Structure 1
């Protein structure tokens, strides 16, 4: 009898061991699934499985929703190493999703429980506190991280930059921001059911955007796809998928459309491999888009990512972001020339003024105003990714300026685009930001109000009755452009030719009378020669004019030299039949001045 009970006890014990092993294996599968989804950049699914691993009791997880707070029931049958890893990866998943409040809670837990194993948890926790507007606590945590983290590496530099940005943000918020700018979150069909970002315009009323949404075609995972939407005023019609992702790629991302509407460049990638993102091109033929193909030339490099393309309105340059070799570190802004036949030139880095050791992304070039707009987390700003603008032309960009509050926030602000094709004096721009969301990017409009036209003011004197006097109060004038007539140069050089000084002498007199005035002298060429050559020649010629004016006693701070090459023609370089147009090219070879400040 005793033997039977012993056998029964042994059998019962074996069953318990088998059940325990099965439950442990089931839970371990949650951790592995989370790792797999994280590797594929499906952070929403990854977060779901990490939460299941940490908080489930071995159940099936039926009815689980990754965005619903889970009960704080800590499972005790996990290996300590796996418990720490799962908690850290859950925090990382929330950060990638821009799910600030959950990320703050998760990083705080990692810091308090496993701070010695994960010293970066203090840095990430401080970043979430900053994004939530808890500046005092964020300041303390950044300082604590720098005190305890003795390695002088990119994370220490990141914390120092975050502290400087924290102070910048507090000052900007205290000032209240530019009064002529107004930010509005899009509602209705936009910003519903997923992330919305990277807006651009197919035409005046057709918005092209990227949205991350649950998709049956992606096996129930979140998928990035391009969509179009008709936008008329405040009304937006239903999202329409643009076209399927090309080849083996499963994801589509930020796109740009040529000014004539017949060519599109967009980002595509696959979760099935680690090849990174690439830029694809499709052309409209007989009203239909052709099958997308990877962009020819040297833009896409094996083993590196190229993404977020932007083509200039004249079709001569393509800007993009890449982590390819030869940059300043992280993702940099690059550009490449495109000739009349569509041939892609050699990619060139936008330079150290624009790029940092961190990430610069989502370039947009306002050709009419000669201004590059991009997002960065490497320059001092309000925190996270901020929008910056840099005056200049390819090969010559000035130090970028933070676009300030309210365009930027303490969260991530990226993807700037102007709605109108007339970019000079724009009144409406679109950006993506997660400032108002629990997670994910959303679309916002930036409205800019220009000074009102002249108004009539009535002044009544009180010493004796008389007819009211009406005076006109002029509104502030915008900068005035002018072509400098009879300014010539030695052929192929920047030297001023004889007889070119009369117009420059007129500028000298104007600047002497107006000592606070600042003007831009800009050089322009025709289309003969390469883009790089024309840009350098036009800049050198503008500088020759400035050198002459300075010799006449003008303060150098009143003068700015810019070279635009062939980017701003005032006449066609070619006739309608494709033949050369010498008269048009003659008009394009010119020198202009622009009053930047009166």
Structure 2
């Protein structure tokens, strides 16, 4: 996953703003200028000067193959001709003969080791060595190179960054991460290159960017059946065009996509972000995210939060900290994207950041950067949200993902599965320093990184009418019971009723499924305590949700799963407020509805005591609702004790289910 992938964001619109030139090619665009501007100041032999001049002329005519022998003859004629050694190195580098180029640069340096005239040789030699990952060899040249500049000069500081990278790279290679990337599947390789993979939390739907032989980039989709991947297909004829679409991001339910398009569509700048929604099997016509998100500058490489309500992306708009920075925009309650904010330091640097990926946990941000210390070029990093710790808004100091996830090549992007165990990326195959093709790979995340990425579980299923089984369009909300704040808010598919909701680890959550005309369904998830068998640690839970209509004959009833009492007590715990407020809101929006609040216990203990406890618990709920403004005449409290178990009292798990509060429409 080197230069080609890093540069081909959308074909022809690279991270650096230029077409990829392949490995070692980062500085080659300067060679013609260097060759013509320099003069053979160190030549002593007239014949050598003539050969040198002929070689320069031929290269100016783009005849590098013919220029090289003449430069070699000039050196043979005058071995002390330092400038000829330098130009020969540049010619070798231009033709991708890197070992020969290194020898030529070394020769130039040996002739004038302390002269500023050797600066170009030091620069090119150390740059090639760094791009080859030969950090130990590069260090002494870099350290000598640095002495040619004043300590406070820009050149001195630039070389200092290279020295820091060389030392970091040397240490990283000496202590590699235990990773073993494997090709994802040969069946996906239907085009010359594939890159920027994104997946749904169940890892069964894959969307990626494919480069076609004609140079067009499209978004492709493939599905996994538990054993193999399907052949990739175009994501949608309404999304893919004859121009380029790429670098997509999916919401957790796979029904919202944001992608980049740089040509063809009417936009605001060089590259814009577009959004499409899936209903049933169809994607909507892509919408430009508008002038708040898109500008006349460059916007690309989006990453959506799991619920699709927060968007990270890359832009070079004014107001940033560097050339290209990571920005963030939130979707407000009215469905409008807010003014983007720069996520600031320590993520963004004076250089370039790229390809942000916010993990499904909403806390782990992966991104690429050439501004942080790494192994060379763009490296991949991870940082943690400080907001989740309660300290402050911001991010922790980024951590380099290490070798061999990062190498001396550019690493463009990484996708980490919701369960935090696997990572997907693209690896670029090269030949003689030229990018050949890019393929999708997967590897198990090493333990050191798994500890950084909190896994998330997810619920998926279908919401339907409990009586007719007709799929329903419904709202699915996840609430943090400690803060009473909405963690996630998604809608079911209006056609199929399907939903996917992410469940973060480490907290207590209430999940509500609701739609007008039906009792809401409440579910409770406690991830603060270890679960037997680690059931919820990054696993998926299939749960179809039948909703009971308020009217239609038989009285509708539901269990209130987020009401909490101390054992043998009837005082409502503070975290019950979320559920109680939901009931109050339901009653206010359904002013003609009357309900029964019913208390139930298990079979342990004295029957009379259980009956009294269940009655008092039901009355406590009614008291709260009355205080919240619900008319007392619309509420009825009754305790049933142990007389109406939901399931047989044959286990602790069943007894817990029987200790409950239900509400029923009268």
The answer, yes or no, to whether TM exceeds 0.5 is: yes
Distance 1:320 1:344 in 2: 13
- 1:576 corresponds to which residue? 515
Q: 1:327 to 1:43 in 2, by over 3 A?
A: closer
Cα distance, 1:264 vs structure 2: 0.9
Distance 2:108 2:174 in 1: 36
Following superposition of structure 1 onto structure 2, how do residues 157-556 of structure 1 map, counting pairs within 5 Å?
157-177=157-177, 179=178, 181-186=179-184, 188-189=186-187, 194-201=192-199, 204-215=203-214, 222-231=215-224, 235-243=228-236, 250-270=243-263, 275-302=269-296, 304-368=297-361, 370-392=363-385, 395-419=393-417, 423-424=418-419, 426-434=420-428, 438-440=433-435, 441-448=438-445, 524-527=483-486
Q: Does 1:140 pair with 2:79?
A: no
- 2:500 corresponds to which residue? none
Distance 2:227 2:97 in 1: 32
- 1:129 corresponds to which residue? 129
Distance 1:309 1:224 in 2: 16
Distance 1:319 1:42 in 2: 24
Conserved? CA contact 1:228–1:240, under 8 Å: yes
Cα distance, 1:230 vs structure 2: 4.0
Q: Deviations over 1:44-91 (max 9, x none)?
A: 69x9x99xx999999xx9xxxxxxxx98322999xxxxxx99x98997
Distance 1:407 1:38 in 2: 20
Conserved? CA contact 1:390–1:400, under 8 Å: yes
Cα distance, 1:308 vs structure 2: 0.7
Distance 1:136 1:263 in 2: 47
What's the secondary structure of 1:524's corresponding residue?
A: coil
Q: 1:349 to 1:89 in 2, by over 3 A?
A: farther
Conserved? CA contact 1:307–1:321, under 8 Å: yes
Conserved? CA contact 1:246–1:268, under 8 Å: no
- 2:601 corresponds to which residue? none
Conserved? CA contact 2:367–2:413, under 8 Å: yes
Cα distance, 1:231 vs structure 2: 4.9
Q: Deviations over 1:500-556 (max 9, x none)?
A: xxxxxxxxxxxxxxxxxxxxx99734249xxxxxxxxxxxxxxxxxxxxxxxxxxxx
Cα distance, 1:136 vs structure 2: 3.1
Conserved? CA contact 1:569–1:588, under 8 Å: no
Q: 1:237 to 1:321 in 2, by over 3 A?
A: same
Conserved? CA contact 1:211–1:226, under 8 Å: yes
Conserved? CA contact 2:269–2:294, under 8 Å: no
Q: 1:569 to 1:290 in 2, by over 3 A?
A: farther
User: What is the RMSD of the two structures over their aligned residues, measured on CA atoms?
Assistant: 5.5
Conserved? CA contact 1:56–1:73, under 8 Å: no
Cα distance, 1:134 vs structure 2: 2.0
What's the secondary structure of 1:266's corresponding residue?
A: strand
Q: 1:208 to 1:403 in 2, by over 3 A?
A: same
Q: 1:193 to 1:315 in 2, by over 3 A?
A: closer
Conserved? CA contact 1:308–1:361, under 8 Å: yes
Distance 2:322 2:159 in 1: 17
Cα distance, 1:307 vs structure 2: 1.0
Conserved? CA contact 2:92–2:100, under 8 Å: no
Distance 2:65 2:212 in 1: 28
Distance 1:305 1:252 in 2: 15
What's the secondary structure of 2:344's corresponding residue?
A: coil
What's the secondary structure of 2:217's corresponding residue?
A: strand
- 2:65 corresponds to which residue? 72
Conserved? CA contact 1:254–1:307, under 8 Å: yes
Distance 1:573 1:349 in 2: 33
Conserved? CA contact 2:133–2:375, under 8 Å: no
Q: 1:386 to 1:286 in 2, by over 3 A?
A: same
Q: Deviations over 1:114-158 (max 9, x none)?
A: 999996675455233223232233223433543445596766544
Distance 2:454 2:285 in 1: 45
Distance 1:344 1:55 in 2: 55
Conserved? CA contact 2:196–2:247, under 8 Å: yes
Distance 1:44 1:327 in 2: 27
Scaled by the length of structure 1, what TM-score is found?
0.56
Distance 1:256 1:322 in 2: 16
Larger radius of gyration: 2
Cα distance, 1:199 vs structure 2: 0.8
Q: Deviations over 1:305-346 (max 9, x none)?
A: 111101111222111111222221121121111134421012
Q: 1:176 to 1:327 in 2, by over 3 A?
A: same
- 2:641 corresponds to which residue? none
Following superposition of structure 1 onto structure 2, how do residues 90-129 of structure 1 map, counting pairs within 5 Å?
122-123=122-123, 125-129=125-129
